[in-house]
Structure 1
Amino acid sequence: MEKQNQPDLENQDQPTRELTDSLQQKLDYLTTLRQAITAGDDRLIYELIDGDHYHQALLNEDPNPTRNAQVGLITDVHPAVSHYLSTKLIDYLAHEYPFFYYEETQPGEFQIYFGNWWDRRKFGKLNVLDVKFEFSAEEFNKLQKTFELAHAHKRFNTDAIQKISAASDQLQKLIDAQDDRDAQKDDLRQQLKENGQRNSLFDSGRIKEERQQIIDELSKLADEDEQANNAHATMKDNEAKILTLSKEDTILAYEKQAIENAFKSFENFNERNRSLYVDYLTTLIGKAQVASDDE
């Protein structure tokens, strides 16, 4: 009589144990995260959502991807976790970066505004989970250039404003020179008339060349007349452009002053941005130790 196939319990025990251990690790991870949120332990939450980065940055340990083995379990709730962690982080940033303001555009996503003045700029985003600023490259570069140009006593738009102003000055000269152009045109038309009355087989080439030169001069004056006719509208547009650029320079000056008041220099500002994760987590660790000592 043939034996019926029986499950190989000896061979299944090890895979089964590995499965149950893996599930238990996931449960333990989620339980620990839930408890950390319930207890308001933001430091532990940051360690749980990216343990490898935490251990490298805070404990100077070597990379170890296994520390993040379970982080994929909470990817779908990242916006909610970011929203939760934002409260203490933004309170901290309000003290360290008093010129930045934040708007939660959707759950867990935060737009950065520079300043509370009129026409303040959108300056990028705050990545709460990574504790870092993600500045707009365009806006950041404008601010960086503002600091660089300050050494030459120039503003960000100084050259552009000077170029536009020079163009308007040139247009004004065209307007002012209208009477002179009219006189030149009368003289050239008379020359053209006299040229047409000359008829010589021997000088026909020279006469034709002179005629073309006169026509070219008249054409040039006609172009200048057209520019002069449109000059007032163009100059008005230039005034609007200069006003816009001047406003931008004013905003950039406010931003520069705000950074200098808080950090003394643009270099210090950048250095602080690079160390923001460590600085903030160190603060959380310190507060946790104080709370533990008080218990």
Structure 2
Amino acid sequence: MDQGKKMLIDNMIGSKIEYLLNFQRSIDNENIPMIYQLLDSARYNSLINGWSQADDNRVLNSLVESLRFELAEFTAPYLIDYLKKYFPFFKIQKKQRSVYSVTFGYWPSAREIGLLDTLRVEIVFDKNELSAVKEYMNDQKKSQDDDVQIQELNKIQTIYQKKSDATIQAIKKNEEELIKLSKKRAVLKLEQEQIEKYFGSFEHFIDKANHLYVDYINHLLEDKNEPEK
């Protein structure tokens, strides 16, 4: 048999065995950063280690492709704990197997604004939901227009209630529209208060959310390297 081919096959098998053993050790030791490095070495080495050229390990990480649901649920509690501390207004809930919703706030009528990808360490925002609070915070004219609309609806409601010929249907329709708009404004106001409290501005909030992967893994590494007290 060609010894060169035999050695090549042995090396390929050996690298796969080593990869799986490293993955097993990472799970056993709850070494979450290492899990992310093994899942996507190119991304990890580029963003965390700062390598200008980082080779990917797609051939090796395909070995655990069938475990992605389990890995997503294994890593989820650690990431959710981090989000509770640094994005305390986010309510994370499991919707289905390995799928987690992100709701903005714990108050009634809080809006679901996206999904949490625990393996990518990424919040996949619903752009429409996100644009609503961005517009509310940054577009002063839109905010003023909404205030005017609420005032107008209140005036109309008062007029309807005084007019004897106003139909119940018209009163009810105007009331529903008023409640809907007022509730929307109240929710957006709460969201604005939380963003300004913890991040100062909408732009800084989005910037931190977009850097979640780097910030989270660096946080885990710092905790890991801290001496025990």
* TM superposition score normalised by structure 1: 0.69
Distance of 1:260 and 1:243 partners within structure 2:
26
Identify if the C-alpha distance between structure 1 residues 155 and 51 changes in structure 2 by more than 3 Å, giving closer, same or farther.
farther
Q: Residue 130 of structure 1 corresponds to which residue in structure 2?
A: 120
Contact 2:113/2:126 (<8 A) preserved: yes
Identify if the C-alpha distance between structure 1 residues 154 and 18 changes in structure 2 by more than 3 Å, giving closer, same or farther.
same
- Of 123, 143, 161, which aligns to 1:154? 143
Task: Encode CA deviations 1:124-178: one digit per residue, 9 max, x unaligned.
Answer: 11111111111111110111111013x4582684465467668x58x96xx79xx
Is 1:277 the counterpart of 2:213 in the alignment? yes
- Of 215, 223, 226, which aligns to 1:287? 223
* Correspondence 1:22-101 to 2 at 5 A: 22-101=12-91
**Structure 1 residue matching 2:42: 3-state secondary structure:** helix
Query: Per residue, is there more helix in 1 or in 2?
Result: 1
- Of 91, 98, 101, which aligns to 1:108? 98
1:242 positional shift: 1.5
Distance of 1:110 and 1:269 partners within structure 2:
20
**Structure 2 residue matching 1:69: 3-state secondary structure:** helix
- Of 169, 180, 185, which aligns to 1:233? 169
- Of 246, 255, 258, which aligns to 2:182? 246
Contact 1:146/1:155 (<8 A) preserved: no
**Structure 1 residue matching 2:107: 3-state secondary structure:** coil
Letter in 2 for 1:131: V
Q: Show structure 2 runs of 5+ residues with no match.
A: none
Letter in 2 for 1:275: H
Letter in 1 for 2:89: F
Distance of 2:3 and 2:136 partners within structure 1:
68
Distance of 1:63 and 1:230 partners within structure 2:
72
Q: Which has the higher contact order (CA 8 A, sep 6+)?
A: 1
Percent identity, aligned pairs only, is 23
Contact 1:36/1:42 (<8 A) preserved: yes
Structure showing greater radius of gyration is 1
Distance of 1:34 and 1:78 partners within structure 2:
14
Letter in 2 for 1:154: S
Identify if the C-alpha distance between structure 1 residues 15 and 250 changes in structure 2 by more than 3 Å, giving closer, same or farther.
same
What is the number of residues matched between the two proteins?
A: 226
Q: Residue 133 of structure 2 corresponds to which residue in structure 1?
A: 143
Task: Encode CA deviations 1:218-263: one digit per residue, 9 max, x unaligned.
Answer: xxxxxxxxxxx78552342122111111111101111111111111
Aligned-CA RMSD value = 2.5
Q: Residue 193 of structure 2 corresponds to which residue in structure 1?
A: 257
1:120 positional shift: 1.2
* Correspondence 1:175-190 to 2 at 5 A: none
**Structure 2 residue matching 1:70: 3-state secondary structure:** helix
Letter in 2 for 1:98: P
Distance of 2:191 and 2:13 partners within structure 1:
51
Distance of 2:199 and 2:4 partners within structure 1:
59
**Structure 2 residue matching 1:154: 3-state secondary structure:** helix
1:122 positional shift: 1.1
Letter in 2 for 1:34: Q
1:84 positional shift: 0.9
Q: Residue 6 of structure 2 corresponds to which residue in structure 1?
A: 16
Letter in 2 for 1:24: G
Distance of 2:56 and 2:90 partners within structure 1:
36
Distance of 2:106 and 2:218 partners within structure 1:
29
